[in-house]
């Protein structure tokens, strides 16, 4: 049985457990008999507050009822997958781009064809490429919100305590690891990476060295020897005190880095994060810390590595009773001035030309956010393949990436064994 079939069975099992505690389902009308739909999303506090405010404003302007469902990312994808497979997804759902490939098929549609609602949703504000990334077999399945990539962010306060500048090159990052250990102590690191971040950084490194996409046309473009080289690079970051090992991170007892006391107090002084979600990490540090953009790290190879992706998108359930209302809600949030001003840039700099201009005119895009987005637009040449983010690869519960990166860190696998496991797991998804 391959990983995709196992994933589906696991999701169904999870849904049976969760079904008893789901919030009130979508497609129901309230006692007031107003049209009623449900919208769901995940995010940190600032994103939640902005989205709630925008949804409430839409309710008041349109005399409708919008039920909301939101939460943290941890466990969210599994929960939403269960809802999708059981045909109980919310009417409007914030999704990752790869969910389209994961859940759509030629014989079973999950997401509404938004091309049928183009008289309501202003698709003229988006590039053809961004719409294509959110399409399946010629149908538009979601409206893209922003383009994102992983960039380096550093805590200037901690680097100042160590007496050094924020690194701009790989060699400077290696040197920072040694300085942190010698000057600040063993508990201080210039960077922190979880298992999935290590996988993305490894691909960033290999693309910098070889100038090739990681996956194209359902084919892995790197050999075992090349992947071994990438895994050795990740191990070198531990060996040179750049990042804490997985055992150390697990012992911190935090569900995510923004809740890790070592990040909050500046002992972990760097992060490799999507520009569309960095705000929750900045908001989480104590008042003595100051996070700055490190951007791209030079000196890895002859190419600009790293990939971009549609950070988030909004889709509509194929089963909704009110597709036009859902489309009006999405267009309000992403293309209309009142909604855009309330949403701000909590999901990154908007891809909608109109929304971007509204945010610019109203000074909603801070300098660091704009700088990060500009670097992404100028330097990121590679595009993530949707298969890269399949749940059975990136899941914290048994995903191949977590197994390989954790096993390598703990010493359970040699780099050769880790490369073999990684290749086997990816090939099973690509079959």
> Residues for the chain: how many in total?
431
Categorize the per-residue pLDDT at 44 as very low, low, confident or very high, splitting at 50, 70 and 90. Answer: confident
Please state which of the ranges 99-108, 238-247, 262-271, 315-324 shows the lowest mean pLDDT: 99-108
The predicted pLDDT at position 386 comes to 85
Output the six-digit token pair for 150.
Answer: 């992983």
What percentage of the chain carries pLDDT values higher than 90? 80
Please give the average per-residue pLDDT across 70-90, as a whole number: 92
Q: Which residues contact 246 (CB under 8 A, 6 or more apart)?
A: 195, 405, 406, 409, 410
Categorize the per-residue pLDDT at 329 as very low, low, confident or very high, splitting at 50, 70 and 90. Answer: very high
Please give the average per-residue pLDDT across 7-28, as a whole number: 42
* Block residue for tokens 């922003």: 146
Q: Is the pLDDT of residue 422 over 50?
A: yes
Give the C-alpha separation, 192 to 285, whole Å.
14
Q: Which residues contact 430 (CB under 8 A, 6 or more apart)?
A: 215, 218, 219, 220, 387
What percentage of the chain carries pLDDT values higher than 70? 93
53-73 pLDDT per residue, tens: 999 999 999 999 999 999 998
The predicted pLDDT at position 16 comes to 39
Contact 7, 387 (CB under 8 A): no
Please give the average per-residue pLDDT across 246-268, as a whole number: 96
Contact 148, 274 (CB under 8 A): yes
Contact 193, 243 (CB under 8 A): yes
The predicted pLDDT at position 397 comes to 83
The predicted pLDDT at position 32 comes to 56
Element at 264 (helix H, strand E): helix 261-264
The predicted pLDDT at position 158 comes to 98
Give the C-alpha separation, 10 to 170, whole Å.
40
Categorize the per-residue pLDDT at 311 as very low, low, confident or very high, splitting at 50, 70 and 90. Answer: confident
DSSP 314: E
Categorize the per-residue pLDDT at 20 as very low, low, confident or very high, splitting at 50, 70 and 90. Answer: very low
- Long-range contacts made by residues 400-406, C-beta under 8 angstroms, separation at least 24? 400/3, 400/425, 400/426, 401/195, 401/196, 401/198, 401/199, 402/195, 402/196, 404/199, 404/231, 405/195, 405/196, 405/198, 405/199, 405/234, 405/246, 406/195, 406/246
The predicted pLDDT at position 206 comes to 98
Q: Which residues contact 235 (CB under 8 A, 6 or more apart)?
A: 408, 409, 415
Q: Is the pLDDT of residue 29 over 60?
A: no
223: phi > 0 → left, psi -120 to 50 → alpha, else beta; which?
A: beta
Q: Is the pLDDT of residue 13 over 50?
A: no
Categorize the per-residue pLDDT at 7 as very low, low, confident or very high, splitting at 50, 70 and 90. Answer: very low
Please give the average per-residue pLDDT across 344-349, as a whole number: 93
353-398 pLDDT per residue, tens: 999 999 999 999 989 999 999 999 888 889 888 889 888 899 888 8
Residues 171/174/175/177 CA torsion (nearest 10 deg): 160
Please give the average per-residue pLDDT across 285-296, as a whole number: 96
Please give the average per-residue pLDDT across 84-112, as a whole number: 93
Please state which of the ranges 60-69, 231-240, 302-311 shows the lowest mean pLDDT: 302-311
Contact 153, 291 (CB under 8 A): yes
- Long-range contacts made by residues 31-37, C-beta under 8 angstroms, separation at least 24? 32/65, 34/63, 34/64, 34/65, 35/64, 35/65, 35/322, 35/325, 36/64, 36/65, 36/66, 36/67, 37/64, 37/65, 37/66, 37/67, 37/90, 37/91, 37/92, 37/320, 37/322, 37/325, 37/326, 37/329
* Residue-averaged pLDDT of the chain: 91
Categorize the per-residue pLDDT at 25 as very low, low, confident or very high, splitting at 50, 70 and 90. Answer: very low
Please give the average per-residue pLDDT across 121-130, as a whole number: 96
More confident residue, 22 or 203: 203
Q: Which residues contact 192 (CB under 8 A, 6 or more apart)?
A: 243, 244, 249, 257, 260, 262, 263, 268, 270, 271
pTM score, two decimals? 0.85
Q: Is the pLDDT of residue 419 over 60?
A: yes
- Long-range contacts made by residues 70-74, C-beta under 8 angstroms, separation at least 24? 70/40, 70/41, 70/42, 70/43, 71/42, 72/42, 72/43, 72/44, 72/255, 72/256, 73/42, 73/43, 73/256, 74/255, 74/256
Categorize the per-residue pLDDT at 288 as very low, low, confident or very high, splitting at 50, 70 and 90. Answer: very high
Categorize the per-residue pLDDT at 11 as very low, low, confident or very high, splitting at 50, 70 and 90. Answer: very low
Q: Is the pLDDT of residue 304 over 50?
A: yes
Q: Is 140 exposed, middle or buried (0-12, 13-18, 19+ CB in 10 A)?
A: buried
Pairing of strands 92-95, 36-42: parallel
Among the ranges 104-113, 205-214, 272-281, which has the highest mean pLDDT value?
A: 205-214
How large is the C-alpha radius of gyration of the chain?
A: 22
Categorize the per-residue pLDDT at 34 as very low, low, confident or very high, splitting at 50, 70 and 90. Answer: confident
The predicted pLDDT at position 421 comes to 97
DSSP 348: B
């Amino acid at each position: 049985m391959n990983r995709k079939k196992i994933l589906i069975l696991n999701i169904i099992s999870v849904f049976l457990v969760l079904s008893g505690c789901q919030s009130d389902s979508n497609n129901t009308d309230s006692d007031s008999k107003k049209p009623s739909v449900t919208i769901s999303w995940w995010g940190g506090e600032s994103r939640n507050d902005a989205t709630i405010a925008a949804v409430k404003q839409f309710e008041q302007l349109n005399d409708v009822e919008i039920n909301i469902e939101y939460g943290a990312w941890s466990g969210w994808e599994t929960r939403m997958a269960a809802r999708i497979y059981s045909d109980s997804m919310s009417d409007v759902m914030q999704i990752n781009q790869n969910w389209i490939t994961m859940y759509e098929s030629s014989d079973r549609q999950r997401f509404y064809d938004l091309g049928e609602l183009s008289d309501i949703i202003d698709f003229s504000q988006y590039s053809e490429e961004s719409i294509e990334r959110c399409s399946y077999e010629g149908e538009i399945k979601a409206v893209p919100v922003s383009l994102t990539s992983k960039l380096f962010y550093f805590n200037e306060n901690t680097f100042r305590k160590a007496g050094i500048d924020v690194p701009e090159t790989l060699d400077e990052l290696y040197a920072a690891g040694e300085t942190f250990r010698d000057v600040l102590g063993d508990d201080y690191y210039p960077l922190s990476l979880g298992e999935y971040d290590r996988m993305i950084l490894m691909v960033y490194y290999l693309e910098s060295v070889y100038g090739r996409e990681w996956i194209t046309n359902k084919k892995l473009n790197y050999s075992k020897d090349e992947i071994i080289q990438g895994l050795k690079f990740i191990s070198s970051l531990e060996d040179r005190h750049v990042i804490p090992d997985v055992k150390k991170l697990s012992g911190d007892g935090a569900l995510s880095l923004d809740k890790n006391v070592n990040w909050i107090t500046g002992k972990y002084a760097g992060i490799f994060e999507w520009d569309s979600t960095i705000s929750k990490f900045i908001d989480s540090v104590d008042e003595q810390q100051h996070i700055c953009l490190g951007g791209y790290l030079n000196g890895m190879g002859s190419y600009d590595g790293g990939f971009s992706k549609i950070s988030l998108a909004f889709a509509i359930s194929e089963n909704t009773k009110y597709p036009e209302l859902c489309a009006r809600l999405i267009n309000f949030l992403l293309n209309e001035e009142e909604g855009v001003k309330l949403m701000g840039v909590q999901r990154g700099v908007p891809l909608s030309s109109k929304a971007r201009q509204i945010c610019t005119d109203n000074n909603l895009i801070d300098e660091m956010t704009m700088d990060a987005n500009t670097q992404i637009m100028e330097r990121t040449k590679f595009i993530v393949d949707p298969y890269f983010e399949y749940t059975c690869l990136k899941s914290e519960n048994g995903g191949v990436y977590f197994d390989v990166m954790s096993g390598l860190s703990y010493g359970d696998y040699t780099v050769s064994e880790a490369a073999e496991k990684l290749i086997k797991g990816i090939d099973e998804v690509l079959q």
